[in-house]
Amino acid sequence: MTEPSKAVFLSYASQDAAAAHRLAEALRAGGVEVWLDTTGLRGGDAWDQKIKKQIRDCALFLPIISVTTQERDEGYFRREWRQAVDRTHDMAGRATFLIPVVIDNTNDREAEVPDEFRSVQWTRLRNGETPTSFVERVRGLLQSKGARIDSTRPISIPSAAPAPVAPSREPSASAPIVPKSPVKLSPALLAAIVVAALAVGYIGLAQFKSRQPAAVATVTAPLSAPTNVAEKSVAVLPFVNESSDKEQEYFADGLTETMIDLLSKVPDLHVAARTSSFYFKDKSERLPVIAKELNVANVLEGSVRKAASRLRITARLVQADNGYQLWSETYDRDTKDIFKVQDEISAAVVTALKLKLAAPAAVADDRGTTNTAAYNQFLIARHLGRLYTLDGYRRALEAYEKALSLDPHYEMARAASNLNRANIADQIGDGPGLTRAIAEMQEGVTRAPDQAWAYRYRGLARAQWLWDYAGAKVDFQKAIALAPTEPLNLQDYGTVLSSLGQFEASIEVTQKSLDLDPLATDAMANIAQAQLALRDWAGAEASLARALQIAPGSDTLLGTSTNPGMAALRLLQGRPEEALTFCQRVTDERAKIPCIAQAEYSAGHKAEAENALAELLKSGATSNTYAIAQTYAWRGETDKAFEWFDKVVLVRDAGVTQLLSDRQLDSLHKDARWKALLKKVNLPE
């Protein structure tokens, strides 16, 4: 190393060496000089002096945080961290030096790190997988310090401005719940958490695709915020769970979602949708940055502490551009008063923004029940259902059944329960169970004829399992008419249009859902699907790149058996080796195996392709029939493909909804059996 003063110093525990080297390689490939120990030696006066000098002279210090550092009370890396912190004491407050990097799911609220780490922005790079945007950020910071950068090394995405260094927004320390009169909330006691997440979602999300976490992708695109911020606009950030029981997270999330629903009913008030707001859960970001990204002028944030039958809820409304606190309050109540507290918070926000609150009956319908115990079980179920696993669906079903036993007229819980039953039956191949669940989903409209969610659930059943696309269109149009500001209604309607081959219309409708929920990666993936169907490779890549930047762990975006993604795009572009790289990052085996089988085949790796196909036939003969048919079509084995599509129709595999948009099936289109297949599943020729 010739100029250590221009280098980036990586500090890591020895068990995290692989991730550290992966990060170092990415930075070096971008022309960044990196220093890290490659000898594995620790200790000794000479070594200590060398480390101290490097930390004293380096331009940036990147501590790698993980479950390993969390579990180790002692380690040389902790000495390095202290030395780096000591150096910051001599720096100007505006100087950027510490860039903490988390390589797994370690929670930044609980991480065993110096307090100084919490005052700056954290970056999550799972397993050290490093997107180009992070390399560009480091390059920008180094250039601002006057460091030499090797400009001859190419970067695939133009340089962006360095990301802002944001103060931490950590929750306040726990305190006992003591019943008292409401008091003004101190800003020091509040914070909001943000997340990326992988999983973004909602109860009906599983109708067209499954979501599982995967490795960080290396394709990124810069986030861009909308403009023309409305003065009467607000984002409700996820309320922080301060309960000792971490499973109470669902309650805090449920409170947040209900607040979003209640405020969305207020005339003339623009409210950021759930998916976009929850993107900022578990992230330390400044309120002005959040507000800009969500295109709002105000932010509502708070915390929840639940112990036995007592609640403490704190909330504050902040004007994002100047940090002015418009309103704050603390509520110490019994859990049975949760609805009253929600209404009081909504009314306070409306008053602060000088708006009129919607009629009480309108907002009450969003909860679906007046029974707080049933509502609590509903929140549990919704939380579990969003795990998108068979076990999660089963546990959610138990909670929904408890909710219905407490309130037999809780129709919203009944509808969600039936969707859960359908998802379970679909995954285990229970035909009779699926039929019963679908019938119940259809009956839901007669029980709640004035509720948008009832039409959306029936529309999902009609599109996914009954292949009644005309009926599904009518249902989603009705849902949109009843709830025009609910982005999921528009998003699902766009998916139905794509299933029918109306790709331009699908993009237009789905874009409207993105206008309401600008960080919804599912909508971006749906647009990419329609763009692939139109053979707009550049457009699809841009849509997927943005989605992957927001949620860099989505199997669907990386490539699955029934949805377009980076792997599918690379296959269609004739770049199988790159496709294989994306396939190997997928964690959902149902998606990973067919992805690999197709990429290995296109790459000319005959043995590997045959092995993957054999594994797919063994594991997916009853539960992954569309993937098998698609794989045979990609291999050019037409007879085998149609043989398996007969099974797809027999088991009512939901992948059928992708037939017209799946460009990997193009080899079948000239065969007479293709038109017959489309006719069987009610799709236009």
Q: What does the pLDDT look like over 168-220, one tens digit per residue?
A: 333 333 333 333 333 333 333 333 322 222 232 332 333 333 333 333 333 33
Residues in the chain, how many? 685
Would you call 21 exposed, middle or buried from its count of C-beta atoms within 10 A (0-12, 13-18, 19+)?
A: middle
Question: What is the rounded average pLDDT of the residues 473-502?
Answer: 94
Query: How much is the pLDDT for 196?
Result: 29
Secondary structure of 148-216 as H, E, C letters? CCCCCCCCCCCCCCCCCCCCCCCCCCCCCCCCCCCECCCHHHCCECECCCCCCCCHHHHHCCCCCECCC
Nearest of 586, 546, 527 to residue 133 by alpha carbon: 546
Q: What are phi and psi of 45, to 5 degrees?
A: -60, -45
Q: Which of 377-386, 542-551, 659-668 has the highest mean pLDDT?
A: 659-668
Which two tokens mark 376?
Answer: 């609590």
In this structure, what DSSP letter does residue 120 have? S
DSSP 349-398: HHHHTT-PPPPHHHHHHHH--S-HHHHHHHHHHHHHHTT-SHHHHHHHHH
Other beta carbons less than 10 A from residue 429's beta carbon: 11
Check whether 101 has a pLDDT greater than 90.
Answer: yes
Predicted TM-score (pTM) of this structure: 0.63
pLDDT band of residue 157 (cuts 50, 70, 90) is very low
Q: What angle do CA 60, 65, 67 make, to 5 degrees?
A: 170
CB-based burial, 626-639: b 16+ in 10 Å, e otherwise: bbbbbbbbbbeebe
Q: What 3-state DSSP class applies to 233? A: strand
Average pLDDT over residues 327-339: 85
Q: Which two tokens stand for residue 518?
A: 């600008």
Q: What pLDDT band is residue 1 in, cutting at 50, 70 and 90?
A: very low
Neighbouring C-beta atoms of residue 311, cutoff 10 Å: 22
- Three-state DSSP class for residue 33: coil
Cα separation, 535 vs 12, whole angstroms:
44
What's the pLDDT tens digit per position in 573-627? 999 999 999 898 887 788 899 999 999 999 999 999 999 999 999 988 877 899 9
Lowest mean pLDDT among 52-56, 88-92, 277-281, 559-563: 559-563
Question: Is residue 188 exposed (0-12), middle (13-18) or buried (19+ Cβ within 10 Å)?
Answer: exposed
Could you report the per-residue pLDDT of 393-440, keeping only the tens digit for each? Answer: 999 999 999 999 999 999 999 999 999 999 888 777 788 888 899 999
Q: Are 66 and 19 in contact (CB under 8 A)?
A: yes
Q: Is residue 622 classed exposed, middle or buried when 0-12, 13-18 and 19+ CB atoms within 10 A define those classes? A: exposed
CA distance 119 to 92: 14
Q: Which amino acid is at 103?
A: I
Q: Categorize the per-residue pLDDT at 28 as very low, low, confident or very high, splitting at 50, 70 and 90.
A: confident
Short-list 621, 618, 574, CA closest to 598: 574
In SS3 terms, 517-565 reads as: CCCCHHHHHHHHHHHHHCCCHHHHHHHHHHHHHHCCCEHHHHCCCCCCC
Whole-angstrom distance, CA of residue 556 vs CA of residue 41: 42
Average pLDDT over the chain reads 80
- What is the rounded distance in angstroms from the CA atom of residue 568 to the CA atom of residue 555? 12
pLDDT band for position 632 (cuts 50, 70, 90): very high
Residue carrying the six token digits 């594994």: 615
Band (221; pLDDT cuts 50, 70, 90): very low
Nearest in space to 204 (alpha carbons), one of 435, 498, 416, 414:
416
pLDDT value of residue 235? 92
The SS3 assignment for 124 reads: strand
Higher-scoring residue by pLDDT: 148, 252: 252
Predicted pLDDT at 141: 84
Q: Which of 1-10, 457-466, 494-503 has the lowest mean pLDDT?
A: 1-10
Helices 521-533 and 487-499, packing angle to 10 deg: 20
Closest CA to 313 of 269, 263, 260, 259: 259
% of the chain beyond a pLDDT of 70: 81
Quick one: pLDDT band at residue 38, thresholds 50, 70, 90?
Answer: low
How many Å apart are CA 608 and CA 617, to the nearest integer?
14
Lowest-confidence pick of 257-266, 298-307, 360-369, 668-677: 360-369
Q: Which residues are CB-neighbours of 234 under 8 A, at least 6 positions away?
A: 263, 269, 270, 271, 272, 296, 297, 298, 299, 300, 317, 349, 353
Dist CA 338 CA 379 (whole Å): 13
Q: Which of 551-555, 608-612, 638-642 shows the lowest mean pLDDT across its residues?
A: 551-555
Burial of residue 536 (CB within 10 Å: 0-12, 13-18, 19+) is: middle
Rounded average pLDDT over 448-467: 92
Looking at residue 146, what is its pLDDT?
A: 62
Q: Which residues pair with residue 101 across a beta bridge?
A: 64, 123
